[in-house]
Amino acid sequence: MSFEAFGQPLLTFPDAEKSPLSIRAKALVFVDPRSRQLRAELEQLAPRSISVLIRGETGSGKELLARHIHRASDRGGLFVSVNCGAISPTYADAELFGYAAGSYTGSASSRAGWFGSANGGTLYLDEIGDLPLPIQIKLLAALENHEVTRVGAHQPSPVDVRLVAATSIDLAQAVAAGKFHERLYHYLSEGQLELPALRERVGDILSLSEYFLGIYSQRLDLPVPLISEAAQQLLEQHSWPGNTRELENVIHFALLVSTGDEILPEHLNLPEAPAPLTQIEQQLRHILTKGTATEQAALKQLLKNTALL
């Protein structure tokens, strides 16, 4: 399936309808200048064999970038996605690295685990900071030695896995706090991608809105309405704290409650845009609380120079 919004091509996947992922994880636009820069960086990293660390806010589309890296690489194996926050602390070894037959009561057969399943392909670990420290150490050893030892096995098994990890936190701060393994962090840092929040790539908002509108109209067998100019302005002015996930929900809601052939501002159920000064304050506050260390240092120096801090 293909779809174009405002004349801009969208990254789509042929098997999108068979995928259990939500529709926001099947398309990404590269319209905004920051998005185009990200795509260029991504395409440089994709053919290489190094691990990649993607940093971005929740709901911004980190898994999609990971899938694009896999598809743009020459790896013929599977793309295996794992949410680290959902891994059982008790069975983390078995889930990641597999287990031999008879290791657990009732386990008559062996299991490859997530690592083994990704052999020859890409293992995507979402929110890697949620992995317990002992598992982080074993993960690093598996990556460096290219082998894993299944629970209950006597010999290691060779594996060829490319790791793409994602985080919504600053892992450098987690390392400093003793909550993340320093060597694993440096291993991951060889290839890094920063996924800007949706409010920081405003040029993508309308294209994504058109995409979601088209997909939900198709699924619900409804005519595709236009997005009025006033609604477009409101979409571009909203701060999108929930990123692409929030945008998807807003467009879905608007389609269901609209009555004519246009999406109007009242259908979006969004607050009125704040005054420009309020927007600037929100952006500064965001950088001071969630920006990178470099961004925070630069902003603090700027504020000092202007006698605002």
| Per-residue confidence in pLDDT tens, the chain, 309 aa | 333 333 333 333 334 344 334 454 455 788 999 999 999 999 999 999 899 999 999 999 999 999 999 999 989 999 999 999 888 888 888 888 888 765 655 554 567 788 889 999 999 999 999 999 999 999 999 999 999 888 878 888 899 999 999 999 999 999 999 999 999 999 998 899 999 999 999 999 999 999 999 999 999 999 999 999 999 999 999 999 999 999 999 999 999 999 889 999 999 999 865 555 555 666 677 677 766 777 777 777 776 666 544
**Three-state secondary structure along 239-262?**
CCCCHHHHHHHHHHHHHHHCCCCE
Catalogue all structural domains in the chain, each as residue range(s) with its CATH number.
Answer: 1-11+209-273 (1.10.8.60), 33-194 (3.40.50.300), 276-305 (no CATH)
State the alpha helices, DSSP H only, in 146-242. 171-176, 182-188, 205-219, 229-237
Please state the pTM of the whole predicted model. Answer: 0.77
Is the Cβ–Cβ distance between 9 and 27 less than 8 Å? Answer: no
Beta carbons of 67 and 13 less than 8 angstroms apart: yes
Please give the angle made by the CA atoms of 231, 234 and 235, to the nearest 5 degrees: 85
